[in-house]
Structure 1
Amino acid sequence: IMAERKRGLSGENGEQDRPASASKRVRPEGQGHVAALVLARGGSKGIPLKNIKMLAGVPLIGWVLRAARDSDRFDSVWVSTDHDEIEKVAKAWGAKVHRRSPEVSRDSSSSLETIQEFIRLNPEVDIVCHMQATSPCLHPFHIQEALDMITKQGYDSVFSVVRRHQFRWTEIKKGSDERTVPLNLVPTKRPRRQDWDGELCENGSFYFSKKQLIMSEGSLQGGSVTYYEMLPEYSVDIDVDIDWPVAEQRVLRFGYFGRHKPEVVHLMFCNVSGCLTEGRIFLSLSGEEMVSINTRDTAGLRMLKEEGVEVILLVSRLDPVAQSMADKLAQRTGCQVLQVGAEPQEDLNALVEQKKLSWKDVAYMGNDQPDVKCLNLAGLSAVPGDAPVVASNAAKYTCHSKGGSGAVREFCEYILLQKKKAKSQVQQDRIDRHHF
């Protein structure tokens, strides 16, 4: 095996420093069609429909599709699936869909069989990058550097690894002879971590392979093969429920959020109806209409204000219940309350300009069709977990919690996390400039 140590050194932001207007992929002369392929079968046993479950506000599969798209190194990006809902999500994230056959959709079917079927149906493909949806911390620079090892250095296959410093043992059972023996150490001479290079373990993020290797030799790893080493913070895998909260915290810190840098917002607009409230109206015996507000949400708004973010609550002129509670909301949250019409953007554009801000400086939380334009414009935007599809497709973040049940608090915490990341990045930039 030909191998060389290859560690991604582009740093946490990597591709994020590139402008949004970066050019699309231009194929080098003599290089064939390069396709990204994500396998996403609908029959996940550990976590039902895991591939489209929301992770940090994004469908799991969306994280790798965004990294693939923004790498600008693929002629086509595909999702191979047998499930209608996964197909819808894949297309919403800009991927083509390979509708796999029943023969390669069984529990016993291998990834290799599915990839071979994909190549037979798409003979123009020369290089396949098989990316796993369960690797949400993949960044565009990982893809770019690994692909260069095939297109510029001449390897036939490249796969991702992470370096582990773990001592391994195994059991030997032969009749009455049962022993535990070491696999990669001599117990009397245990090395210190700094004196041991560790071992290379596949982390499953991606496998680049040439078509001839896949079809003729029936392998994703062969020919002139090497590895691409990823740092441990980017090596996240999700198999069972217990992995999910750990992965969510990791991806919030090390995931790829797109070509923009972490947004720092100075102003937040929050639609009261459906965000602070749960969408239900209670009627008393005397005919009074009432709604409920979660104290976690109001505490979240106060957290934002304490961090210097101005918060304006929006109530519709068409919603008499919300209007009647405006003064109480202002007293309880300490936030300004603003009435808006059927198209909130028309009322808010002048206010954003008046405060000498642009929409990228604004966070917006809404929950339905009238909010779509603002959700698209805002630097950070969110909807509750029970928002209609038309709104969730426009938002940059979809909360786990439902409206009136902690969704606003969740988004407030997300805004503060982005602010913390941006501050950390500025500090690192200063260190880097001083160092060099």
Structure 2
Amino acid sequence: MATGNDQTTAACSTIKGHFAAIVLARGGSKGIPLKNIKELAGVPLIGWVLRAAIDSGAFDSVWVSTDHSEIAKVAENFGASVHYRSPEVSTDNASSLETIQEFLRKHPEVQIVGNIQATSPCLHPEDIRKVAKMIREDGYECVFAVARQHKFRWSEIEQQGEETKPFNLNPYKRPRRQDWKGELYENGSFYFATRRIIMEENCLQAGRMTYYEMKPEHSVDIDVDIDWPVAEQRVLRYGYFGKEKIEEVKLFVCSIDGCLTNGQMYLSNKGEEFVAYNMKDCEGIKRLQKQGIIVLLFSCRDSEIHKLQAHKMGCKILVSSEDKVHTLEGKLNEEKLTWKQVAYIGNEESDVACLTKARIKGVPKDACAEALKTSSYICKNNGGYGAVREFVEYVLLMLQVAKAQSSQKTV
């Protein structure tokens, strides 16, 4: 373990007191505007770390420090408290240390701070619990995240004519990767420290300190736009998706109006009803059916055209305008299924209760505000314009990931 100054020889002692997690999320990101709430794999970026922090159970409170109302709303939707930082620590030049110190001055009860970076979406609750133990029980005053890298470093050439020199290797005896342990680098995922270190030492890394080595696949940091697509693939494969394991999906439920259609209805001068369906969405539903997943369509109104389309797609249809939970639970009992086996995509307030209960949940980009707050997968597309197929692909990917993780544990 890496350690700090001569205090490292001090005997370990438990550290007590209020333990708070804080995520710094300023609204004025220069690289990516409002980066902290930009959707990553269908979830606001900050949501990934908030979900991990809250589900870890390691903290007495979880906070987001921000200067932006939209970030505050997202934080509260995920169950975090909001600390509205002052203008003095909301500038481009303000440091993380200054921002955390301001938070501690306003919250004298807090004795330990877990500073978690919003830009590290592959953080898992288990990592947080282990680090909390290192501070609570092992007596470390500071623990920070590192990742192991196998990269050879060379000196930088400052002037023309200079030669570069190796920093961490002998070019005549270049080691094979399997023969070299590599080096530890801060990955920026988190910095945990006691109040004493932050306020008295005026530092985030001091006193009796050590590191926590994260798995390479969990070591993801987003700084600029070019990182985004890579991070999205990593988080879909290695991210933390919630307490309950995704084991199987037997039923896929889709609200027709606003999800399978764009919510518009056309009438001829003879009173005939016309509705447009996106064939890409229909193809997505066929993929589910090929996997043996039952597809159920929900309609808010008794429409013959919806019934006809459901018949063509080989789907069952339910009609319910308000109490969709009661209606769907009747179907679940009939099929001997549970909510843990349901994937649900909806877009209106009448869908919120079902979205809350479903194991995998999705909403189109243009869903109502209440539906967007359900910590669902937020599609990049609007309803009727490919959102259903996008959510289908997400569900199938989640099942594939769960299967791969399960097989790894049994090896």
Q: TM-score range by the shorter chain?
A: over 0.9
The share of aligned pairs that are identical, in percent, is 56
Q: Which moved more, 1:403-412 or 1:165-174?
A: 165-174
Could you list the per-position Cα deviations for residues 163-220 of structure 1 after superposition, in whole angstroms to 9, with x for gaps in the alignment? Answer: 000112232224x543333222222221111121111111111001111111122111
Quote how far apart the aligned CAs of 1:132 are.
0.3
Aligned to 2:263: 279
1:299 to 279, 283, 295: 283
2:259–2:383 contact (8 Å) kept in structure 1: yes
**Per-residue displacement from partner, 1:388-426 (whole Å, max 9, x unpaired)?**
111122353221211111111111112212222332344
CA contact (8 A) 1:2 1:224 kept: no
User: Is the contact between residue 14 and residue 138 of structure 2 (CA under 8 Å) also seen in structure 1?
Assistant: no
Other-structure match for 1:330: 311
Q: Are 1:263 and 1:380, in contact at CA under 8 Å, matched by a contact in 2? A: no
Higher mean alpha-carbon deviation, 336-345 vs 362-371, is at 336-345
Show the counterpart of 1:19.
none
Choose which of 288, 295, 299 in structure 2 pairs with 1:315.
299
Offset from partner CA, 1:3-22 (integer Å, 9 cap, x none): 49xxxxxxxxxxxxxxxxxx
Structure 2 gap segments, 5+ residues each: 5-12
1:110 aligns with 2:95: yes
Amino acid at match of 1:224: R
Report the alpha carbon displacement of residue 287 of structure 1 after superposing the two structures with TM.
6.3
Distance in 1 between the 2:188 and 2:266 partners? 51
Q: CA contact under 8 A between 1:51 and 1:133: conserved in structure 2?
A: yes
Given that 2:14 and 2:137 are in contact with CA atoms closer than 8 Å, whether structure 1 keeps it comes out as no
Question: Given that residues 142 and 207 in structure 2 are in contact (C-alpha distance below 8 angstroms), is that contact kept between their aligned partners in structure 1?
Answer: yes
Does the C-alpha gap of structure 1 residues 354 and 395 become closer, same or farther in structure 2, counting only changes over 3 Å? farther
C-alpha displacement at 1:34, in angstroms? Answer: 1.0
SS of residue matched to 2:162: strand
Q: Given that residues 14 and 135 in structure 2 are in contact (C-alpha distance below 8 angstroms), is that contact kept between their aligned partners in structure 1?
A: no
Question: Which residue does the alignment assign to 2:196?
Answer: 212
Whether the aligned pair in 2 keeps the contact of 1:294 and 1:405 (CA below 8 Å) is yes
Q: In structure 1, what is the Cα distance between the partners aligned to 2:409 and 2:176?
A: 33
CA offsets per residue over residues 99-146 of structure 1, 9 Å max, x none? 111111101111111011111111111111110000111111111111
State the Cα distance separating 1:263 from its structure 2 match.
4.1
Mapped pair 1:409 → 2:389: yes
Which residue of the other structure, out of 233, 237, 243, is the alignment partner of 1:253?
237
Residue 282 of structure 1: how far off its partner (Å): 4.0
Q: Which of 351, 356, 361 is the aligned partner of 1:371? A: 351
Are residues 170 and 290 of structure 1, via their aligned partners in 2, closer, same or farther at CA, if it must alter by over 3 Å?
farther
What is the one-letter code of the residue matched to 1:278? N
Alpha-carbon distance between aligned partners in 2 of 1:265 and 1:151, rounded to the nearest angstrom: 39
* 336 and 2 in structure 1: CA distance in 2 versus 1, 3 angstrom threshold: closer
1:75 corresponding residue in structure 2: 60
Matches of 1:373 and 1:138 in 2, distance apart? 28
Q: How far did residue 325 of structure 1 move?
A: 3.9
What TM-score do the two structures reach when normalised by structure 2?
Answer: 0.92
1:149 paired to 2:149: no
Taking structure 1 as the reference length, the TM-score comes to 0.87
8 Å CA contact 2:131, 2:143 repeated in 1:
yes
Structure 1: tracts of 5 or more residues without a match:
5-27, 432-436
Distance 2:60 2:375 in 1: 27
* TM-aligned CA distance change 1:29 to 1:194, over 3 Å: closer
Segment of structure 1 superposing worse, 87-96 or 99-108: 87-96
The equivalent position to 1:60 in structure 2, one of 23, 39, 45, is 45
Aligned partners of 1:240 and 1:82: how far apart in 2?
A: 21
SS of 2:388 mapped into structure 1: helix
When the two chains are superposed, the root-mean-square deviation of aligned CA atoms in Å is 2.1
Cα shift at 1:345: 2.4
Figure out how many residues of one structure are paired with residues of the other and give that number.
403
What is aligned with 2:106? 121
Q: Is 1:186 aligned to 2:187, yes or no?
A: no
